[in-house]
A = this chain, B = another copy of it.
Amino acid sequence: MEKNRLEAFSDGVLAIIITIMVLELKVPKESGAAALKPLFPVFLSYVLSFLYVGIYWNNHHHLFQSTKQVSAGVLWANLNLLFWLSLFPFCAGWMGENNAAPIPTALYGVVLLMAGVAYYILQCTIIAQQGKGSLLAKALGNDWKGKSSPFVYLLAIPLAFVNPWISSGLYTCVAMMWLIPDRRIERVLETRES
């Protein structure tokens, strides 16, 4: 199997996920500035989810750069990832419309966690397919970002019942961690580790 169609299909699904999330920003009936106020948390949740989908698209791009052939296992691992990402609009909408209430915020974390795990499975499937001396395994290095993110989500999910804003803050921190260019951070870490 060629990777082109898998990439095109994933790009399509990600592009649609990003744009249907914006549909949760429902056009208000009034024209005053007050009508925008209840939309503000929905907007924040949209920005966060947009960042996450952007990060996943970016990483997905890198993941398949070192691959040429795609096995049936990789294909289903990819669909599994797309499934969890497809739940982002629902969770982002629920969290945003309820002003980050505990349960919606926790559920958002659960979906982030499941997407993170699905991404990790996809990564392992590709590495396993490439065999020893896998290019992807080398490129990933110790993969501290991929390995630490799920633990942050696991911490944030129960904290949503204490204070949902702590959880939202933690979700944002993970997004920021992925946004900041890799090299600089890795150098910092190398210095600390040495």
Cβ–Cβ < 8 Å partners of A40 in chain B? none
What separation, in Å, do the CA atoms of A12 and B72 have in the docked complex?
A: 21
| Contact A83 B50, beta carbon cutoff 8 Å | yes
Cβ–Cβ < 8 Å partners of A65 in chain B? 1
What separation, in Å, do the CA atoms of A20 and B29 have in the docked complex?
A: 18
| Contact B72 A54, beta carbon cutoff 8 Å | no
| Contact B9 A57, beta carbon cutoff 8 Å | yes
A interface list, Cβ under 8 A from B: 1, 5, 7-9, 11-20, 22-25, 27-33, 36, 47, 50, 54, 57-58, 61, 65, 72, 75-76, 79, 82-83, 86-87, 89-90, 93-94, 97-98, 101-104, 107, 179, 181
User: Given A9-B57, A19-B86, list of 17 further CB < 8 A pairs?
Assistant: A7-B8, A9-B15, A11-B12, A13-B19, A16-B19, A16-B20, A18-B82, A19-B20, A22-B89, A22-B90, A24-B27, A27-B90, A27-B93, A31-B98, A33-B103, A54-B76, A58-B76
